[in-house]
Amino acid sequence: METRSFTAEEPGERIDALLPRIAGELTRSAAQKLLDAGAVLVNGAPVRKNYRVSAGDSILVTLPDAGESALTAQDMALDVVFEDGDVIVVNKPRGMVVHPAPGHADGTLVNALLWHCGDSLSGVGGEKRPGIVHRIDKDTSGLLIAAKNDFAHRALAAQLSDHSMFRIYEAVVYGRLRDESGTVDAPIGRHPTDRKRMAIVSTGRPAVTHWEVVARYRGYTHVRCRLETGRTHQIRVHMASIGHPLAGDLVYGKKQPDKGLSGQCLHARALEFTHPRSGERVHLTSPLPDYFLQFLSRLGEPEA
């Protein structure tokens, strides 16, 4: 086990929200589990996850050992876009789950990474998520970065936290966007009555999406989105909130499949980050996949 100490600088933030920010490799859910287990002490005493810190609070966190993964390595095809001793970036196909979860015990990207990378995946993400720095939804395709050691993982997590890792997505949304570009700045949290969905809620975490029009079609718009933050379902929730849900999104959009789509039309098109060891900026792109291009083709010619 590893013990780390921190000092709270600003008052009022919930401890379960603060911990992922100051100990970058922790997710909020992992922080809450540590708090429930009494592994977080504030001024020498355990606190609840809704405790709000005061300036100067002394925070002591005991992190468990990563332990050996019980996951199975599976020989599955991987579209590797970039790889070295610290980082691997893959082009994830739509339909592939990123890491094991209830209902998806194997056949995930993590199972494929374990086969491809062997023991060279970071343990920071926990036993079920080796190497995983960020996630994209099952039916979202495109670029995803994973870390091959803890040093790289912490460096990449810090870039996500300070917004210096750039992630560009392309999507097709319903309707005609009036403007050529815009920004949605609205906090995202769990839906108050449907825990499987996310929603814009006042108690949610800050979330910012910048969008711009790529092309307009009759009844649809092809857009490019840049994430300033990375909340669960962020683009899907934000675009739906302004009246333009993603085509094919049965959760936040229409309840019927659209023109042969099986899931939202969303692709992680570009990724830019600072290499954790060399310090150089790495810029990677992924071409639009066949399902996306075929959908655009079915929409006909773009409007002039």
Q: Is 241 left (phi over 0), alpha (psi -120 to 50) or beta?
A: alpha
Left if phi > 0, otherwise alpha if psi is -120 to 50, otherwise beta: which for 277?
alpha
- CA distance linking residue 129 with residue 197, whole number of Å: 22
Classify burial at 62, counting beta carbons within 10 Å of its beta carbon; exposed 0-12, middle 13-18, buried 19 or more.
middle
| Residue in 77, 61, 71, 154 with CA at minimum distance from that of residue 118 | 71
List b or e across 67-80, with b for residues whose CB sees 16 or more CB atoms inside 10 angstroms.
Answer: eebebebeebebee
Alpha helix (H) residue ranges in 2-149: 15-22, 28-36, 109-117
CA–CA separation, 63 and 33 (whole Å): 11
Among candidate residues 137, 139, 249, 258, the one labeled active-site is 137
Indicate if the alpha-carbon torsion angle 122, 125, 127, 131 is positive or negative: negative
137 is catalytic: yes
Instruction: Tell me the backbone φ, ψ of residue 154, rounded to 5 degrees.
Output: -65, -40
Give the residue numbers marked as catalytic: 137
